Amino acid sequence: MTFNEFPKIVVKPPGPKAKELIEREKKVISSGLGVKLFPVVPERGHGALIEDVDGNVFIDFLAGAAAASTGYAHPKLVNEVQEQVAKIQHSMIGYTYSKRAIEVAEILAEKAPIENPKILFGLSGSDAMDLTMKVARFATRKPWFIAFIGAYHGQTYGATSIAAFQSSQKRGFSPLVPNVVWIPYPNPYRNIWGINGYEEPDELINHFLDYLENYVLAHVVPPDEVAVLIAEPIQGDAGIVVPPENFFKELKKVLDEHGILLAMDEVQTGIGRTGKWFATEWFKIKPDFISFGKGVASGMGLSGVIGKAELMDMTSGSALLTPAANPVISAAAYATLKIIEEEKVIENAQKVGAFIMKRLKEMQEKYDVIGDVRGKGLMIGVEIVKPDDKPDPELTGKICWRAFELGLILPSYGMFGNVIRITPPLVITEGVAEKGLEIMEQALKDALAGKVTHKVVTWH
């Protein structure tokens, strides 16, 4: 199936069928399930396009939270999954062996920037972070974690315990996992030290390291009792924050001095999203662990941890999850990884990402409300600001709502709700991306002209 016309709005969204389903959901599904960014009910998709239940066709700049890496209905993915489910839909890798799971692990081990790795499998990015916490504590026998303010990490108890994205994420759930210390992320555009990290990256790095060594490790937590520092190489939900190029190199020197392991949360940034197999590669370091998820099976529920072999051997069964890497999901992951490799999807992410960045930089020159444009590959953030450079979540929400009305799924998020998120399927073409950017600019104009009364919902 293909869509010959896009976007295509046949009825003002949300249409009648979507409204009916939304009302039905309210009666039977808890609000805790998620933050409903848009009133859209997808029916089918192709590539980077989604058709809803009312027949509206949208360009998708969200990709299901950056998870639909190979787009929608990729024929190789469809065939692989159909063939596998017709053979056997479940066998439990905790008790038996799985050819497809082994093949997926071999590919991930080959691609990861970790020497001699082993892998644990999970179901979602959240439980991948739980696994990371468990294996780090087991390997080191140390109790403390260091994490970053702005990190999302997930929704299981462990992932929630180390996250510091929105305080509402933790409301009502205490006591959480103890022994976590948070430190500020070196955001070049908006940091607590007031440093322009684009013009003075070394200054920003030095201020961060001074804070870590002379305040946190000297006065808050004994460094010899810290098991691991957990970091996103590029912070995702905080607003696609890219640290200075040498940040992780300098950070790892300090961690190595104190015997602290480094775990990179690549649930969102990994599997080609940033134009590398793993975003860690941009920073030229080799961590001890890498967590993965989202795009590894094109959104179909596989995650895990890649780590140095000597750190990964836990008590037998202590990381066992019944449906993890089951045959169908492993087939989806195998197909995804092969598509990325054989169809040069990573190269496409770099090429189309560069095209989008260029167009956004041009827009930044025209519109003062665009304070910052940043990202790598097809993980791009656009920060919308007021004249005093403070965050403008109201305008951001209106831009994204108008884009939705015009046929573009364009989410907003960030620590202050003022960052437009561009994470389309990695197979998106320049032509589709260009049309999406045209809609985004029109939505920006309409919002500035006061023509937009609604705004999208985001994290709060």
Q: pLDDT of 25-41, one tens digit each?
A: 999 999 998 888 999 99
Question: Mean of the pLDDT values across residues 358-382?
Answer: 98
Residues 195 and 328 in one domain: yes
Domain boundary among 343, 372, 407: 343
Confidence (pLDDT) at 34: 85
* pLDDT, tens only, 447-459: 999 999 999 988 7
Q: Is residue 70 part of a domain?
A: no
Q: Which residue has the higher pLDDT, 31 or 104?
A: 104
State what percent of residues in the chain have pLDDT above 90: 97
Whether 315 is covered by a domain: the verdict is yes
Q: Is the peptide bond before 175 cis (omega within 30 degrees of 0)?
A: yes
- pLDDT band of residue 271 (cuts 50, 70, 90) is very high
Q: Say if residue 328 is exposed, middle or buried (CB neighbours under 10 Å; 0-12, 13-18, 19+).
A: buried
The domain in which residue 155 lies consists of 76-343
Helices vs strands, H then E, count in the chain: 13, 15
Q: Give the domain-ending residue among 305, 327, 343.
A: 343
Contacts of 335 (CB under 8 A, 6+ apart): 70, 74, 76, 77, 79, 80, 81, 298
| Residue 390 belongs to domain with CATH number | 3.90.1150.10
| Edge-to-edge strand list for the sheet holding 303-308 | 117-122, 303-308, 289-292, 261-265, 226-231, 144-149, 180-184
Distance, CA of 401 to CA of 412 (rounded, Å): 9
**Contacts with 213 (C-beta within 8 Å, 6 or more apart), sequence order:** 254
Stretch 250-276: mean pLDDT, rounded?
Answer: 98
Express each pLDDT in 9-22 by its tens digit: 999 999 999 999 99
In terms of domains, do 338 and 376 share one?
no
Tell me which of 328, 343, 358 is where a domain ends.
343
Closest by Cα among 52, 47, 59 to 10: 52
Is residue 395 located within the same domain as residue 317? no
In this prediction, residue 452 carries a pLDDT of: 96
In the structure encoding, which two tokens stand for residue 218, read together? 């000297």
Instruction: Flag whether pLDDT at 4 surpasses 90.
Output: no
Asked if pLDDT for residue 192 goes beyond 80, the answer is yes
Contacts of 277 (CB under 8 A, 6+ apart): 111, 112, 270, 271, 346
What's the rounded Cα separation, in Å, for the pair 52 and 42? 4
Give the per-residue pLDDT at 458.
84
Whether the Cβ atoms of residue 122 and residue 131 lie closer than 8 Å to each other: yes
Same domain membership, residue 179 and residue 293:
yes
Average pLDDT value for residue range 117-132: 98
Per-residue pLDDT at 383: 98
What does the block give as tokens for 181? 């210390």
Per DSSP, the three-state class of 375 is: strand
Whether residue 153 is found in the same domain as residue 190: yes
Half-sphere exposure of 340 toward its Cβ, with a 13 Å CA cutoff? 30
Q: CA-CA distance, 379 to 374, in Å (whole number)?
A: 9
Number of independent structural domains in the chain: 2
Identify whether residues 318 and 388 lie together within a single domain: no
| pLDDT, tens only, 219-259 | 999 999 999 999 999 999 999 999 999 999 999 999 999 99
CATH number of 93's domain: 3.40.640.10
206 in any annotated domain = yes
State pTM to two decimals. Answer: 0.96
Question: Does the structure show a pLDDT above 60 at 404?
Answer: yes
The answer to whether residues 283 and 139 belong to one domain is: yes
Residue 187 resides in a domain: yes
Dist. CA 327–CA 348, nearest whole Å = 29
Establish if 457 belongs to a structural domain.
Answer: no
pLDDT for 460 equals 67
| Residue 1 in this model has a pLDDT that exceeds 80 | no
| Beta pairing, strands 144-149 & 180-184 | parallel
| Mean pLDDT score of the chain | 97
Same domain, 102 and 203: yes
Q: What is the DSSP letter of 4?
A: S
Same domain, 253 and 337: yes
Give the pLDDT confidence score for residue 3 in this predicted structure: 78
Contact 341, 111 (CB under 8 A): no
Together in a domain, 301 and 375: no
Q: Is residue 460 part of a domain?
A: no
Read off the pLDDT of residues 142-164 as tens digits, 9 standing for 90 and up: 999 999 999 999 999 999 999 99
Q: Is position 336 within any domain?
A: yes
DSSP 178-245: --EEEEE---SSS-TT---TTT-HHHHHHHHHHHIIIIIIIIIS-GGGEEEEEE-SSBSTTT-BPPPT
In whole angstroms, give the CA distance from residue 353 to residue 301. Answer: 26
**pLDDT at res. 459:** 75
Same domain assignment for residues 413 and 310: no
Answer yes or no: is 261 within a domain: yes
Task: Work out the angle between the directed axes of helices 247-258 and 201-211 (0-180°, nearest 10).
Answer: 20
In this structure, the answer to whether residues 100 and 143 fall within a common structural domain is: yes
Q: Distance (Å, rounded) from C-alpha 349 to C-alpha 306? A: 23
